[in-house]
Chain A
Amino acid sequence: MSIKVRMWGRTSGSAPRKIATVAGSILAATALLAGSTTLVAGAATPGKPGTNATKSPIVVGEDWDSTSANASFTDVTAKTIQLAVNQLNKTGGVLGHPIKLVIGDDEGELTKTPAVTEQLINEGAKFLLFNTGVDAPAKPTVQKLGIPSIGVTDVIPTFATPPDNSYTYLLSSPLSDWSQVLCAAWKKTGVKTVGVLRDNSTTTASLDDILFPTLKKCVTIVDVETAPGTASTVTAQVARLKSHNPNAILVADLGGQFEILAQDTVHQLMPKTPRYSLATIVNEPQTWSLATPGGLNGVIGIGSLNPNNPQTKKLKSFLDAHNGANYPMTAFDADAWDAIQLMKTAMVKAGGGSNPKAVNTQMQKITKYLASFGQPGYTLSYSTTKHQGANGLCGIVLQQFGANNKPDKAFAGYQPTCK
């Protein structure tokens, strides 16, 4: 004991080393804990490629941003892409050729997307899946090298519209459809004035030009408040919106923390005002628990899952079987699944996946594909000039959160229907 006291009394030497050892041990233990998670996650990867597809593999590249904040949705998408590929391989692949996925990561940075795209193509990719928030910079590369590509979860039309869009395709309903659906819902529910709260990211700001012209035709936007996406509070912004006494609040952002902060604050300061969300919050189960109890109650989000759609039901059963019962299926799962089915359809019709140009031609001939999302009967179609698959507004489902902070019901006020 006395030795210990003397050692601690020194100004240098073993005491710091001891502390370093203890601190190092704690950090090592932390790293070990993390390591065990990785192992478990690896072991839990559902399914294995079967042996039915025995011919040479077709390489498909996936740009999966697993690093940035976009991982909140890209991880879900990637998992279901893998599941869909495994299932495809189990059932014979593409005319006997299994699909081999190769993965790149642009880390959510626009500047890295072209390099990752080239890297995937250099690895032999004959088809590309962009599971990232920054797919648009890949367009010149895929155009030049002629590789058909799907922006799996992208809702901004840039990826599939000119220039350089001969090989690029989207699944989701375009943003212009969102504003039409919101207008219809507001008209039906008597909303005449709307206050907008949004983050100040360039992505969200770019939505203004797409959404606001239509929205301004059906309601009066009384105030637009902004805050940084990393804001610690938006109380002031919501208090300013409250002073205009709008009929409804529209929150527009990239989802995640800002969305929760905004919805919690609106719930606290304006508990009786209807709230709408432009973010992907209905598709981000992991963020629901960030809200205060009941903080999301009543929020109406733009989603795309209707449990009455037979295709959605079918996919839900499949996902439950592979991920466990009551898996919280999201639109990202449906997008991932449908992307693989569309790719398969085009490859089969092209006689295999080895000729990207032939596959691209067949992509443009896909019509009335029954999607796993949207209202019952919703279909996707493509042509030489139509590279966004949506057929009408009914790819959108307005989902409403309950007191349990889950979007467990369809909004009764209005739903677009497929004709």
Chain B
Amino acid sequence: MDDPQLWISAIQLGCFFGLLALSYYVVLSGTGFFNFAVGPYAMVGGLFTSWLVIEKGFSLWPAVVVALVAAMALAAVTELIVVRPVQNRSGRNQLPALVAVTAVLFAIEQLAGVIFGYTTLPGEQLFNFQAIEIGSAELLPAALELIIVTAVVFISMAIWVRITRTGRLLRAVGDNRDAAALLGLPVNRIRIIAFVLSGLLAGIAGLLFATKAGVNSDAGLTWALDGFLALVIGGTATVWAPLVGGMILGILQVFIPYYLGGPSLSYSLLILAIIFFGLRPQGIFARRVRV
């Protein structure tokens, strides 16, 4: 564990998983619902940006804006056209909406393949600067970008949730939708905000991680599972829990293959998931409720 390059790789992965888990967290906090479509939102954030720049000749920043707006729009459409109607018809039963969102996941992947093609496109680096030497290791610009943006996003989210009215309403609505509605809180508006914010966070994650080895339309499912596992590990007690979960998952993804060999990773992660699902489903950081 004394090789700094391994740690850089783990932190980079941890930041990416943390952002995806935060995307889950926002919707979970605002609606009490696991939105598995965050993986495809992330894929759209990365792939749409690259497609606009490479295939359509867009400048980088307009492409970034369009792609992130598209990710947010997809998230809004998921809530308005899929989750809300299905939940309303099924008496707010979670299972039908979860199945519907899983279908959305595959639908977005297929649609992205048709629109952007099935080949992998290179991610777009936002800023150009030299790699930084850290001892024998090298911190590439793409990794540094991801780490800095992740820190900024988590700090902003922590402040937003704590000091803004919308941030506080987010948790109130997620905790008890019926009670919030009875109190006259804007439940539907808060739900939409949660989904749109989730789309933005996932889009940013995909945009920044795509620089590692490109992005293609198939990436959504893997990323959705990575983010979900990070949230399961971290829990939902604080905004920082998804980051902790992401970091733990990133460290495991690097150091398990290092010490036990590549094939051991899948088995180890499966065992980890079973342990958390079975013994601590609330994650490391569980909400404490005063009675």
The answer on a CB contact under 8 Å between B181 and A11 is yes
| Given known A232-B16, A237-B257, A290-B213, contact A19–B186 (CB-CB < 8 A) | no
Question: How many interface residues does A have (CB within 8 Å)?
Answer: 52
In the assembled complex, the Cα of A289 lies from the Cα of B121 at a distance in Å of 8
**A23–B214 alpha-carbon span in the complex (Å):** 27
Q: Judge whether A334 is part of the interface by a CB distance below 8 angstroms.
A: no
Q: Return chain B residues, CB-CB under 8 Å to A10.
A: 186
Contacts A12-B188, A34-B114: A236 and B73 contacting too (C-beta < 8 A)? no
How far, in angstroms, from A230 to B221 measured CA to CA in the complex?
A: 11
B80 touches A20 (CB 8 A): yes
Number of CB contacts from chain A to chain B under 8 A = 148
Given the complex, which residues of B lie within 8 Å of A11, measured CB to CB?
A: 181, 184-189
Interface flag for B118 (CB, 8 Å): yes
Residues of B within 8 A of A292 (CB): 140, 142
Distance of B207 from chain A, by nearest CB (Å): 15
- Known interface pairs A226-B263, A268-B138; A260-B118 also in contact (CB < 8 Å): no
Contact A240 B212 (CB under 8 A): no
- In contact, B74 and A27 (Cβ under 8 angstroms): yes
Is the interface on chain B under 10, 10 to 19, 20 to 34, or 35 or more residues? 35 or more
Chain B nearest Cβ from A281, distance in angstroms = 12
A31 surroundings in chain B (CB, below 8 A): 115
Residues of B within 8 A of A20 (CB): 76-77, 80-81
Q: A23-B80, A34-B115, A257-B120 are known contacts. Are A15 and B214 too (CB-CB below 8 A)?
A: no
On whether the beta carbons of B140 and A233 are closer than 8 Å, the reply is: no
Please indicate the chain B residues that have their CB under 8 angstroms from the CB of A264 in the complex.
213
Q: Are B189 and A236 in contact (CB under 8 A)?
A: no
Whether B3 contacts A226 by the Cβ 8 Å rule is: no
For the complex, would chain A's binding face be called helix, strand, loop or mixed by DSSP majority? helix
**Docked pose: A232 CA to B46 CA in angstroms:** 15
Q: Residue A235 at the B interface, CB < 8 A?
A: yes
Q: Which 10 A-B pairs have the closest CB atoms?
A: A236-B258, A34-B115, A23-B73, A235-B9, A236-B257, A290-B214, A261-B213, A71-B118, A26-B73, A226-B262
Contacts A/B (CB < 8 Å), 27 sampled: A11-B184, A16-B188, A20-B76, A20-B77, A23-B72, A24-B73, A67-B118, A68-B118, A71-B119, A200-B263, A226-B261, A226-B262, A227-B257, A227-B262, A230-B222, A232-B16, A232-B212, A235-B5, A236-B254, A237-B262, A239-B5, A239-B6, A240-B261, A257-B214, A264-B213, A290-B120, A290-B122
Using a CB–CB cutoff of 8 Å, the interface residues on chain B facing chain A are 3, 5-6, 9, 12-13, 16, 48, 55-56, 69-70, 72-74, 76-77, 80-81, 84, 113-122, 138, 140, 142, 181, 184-189, 192, 209, 212-214, 216, 218-219, 222, 226, 253-258, 261-263, 265-266
A contacts, CB < 8 Å to B = 8-12, 15-16, 19-20, 22-24, 26-27, 30-31, 33-34, 37, 66-69, 71-72, 75, 200, 225-228, 230, 232-233, 235-237, 239-240, 256-258, 260-261, 264, 268-269, 286-287, 289-290, 292
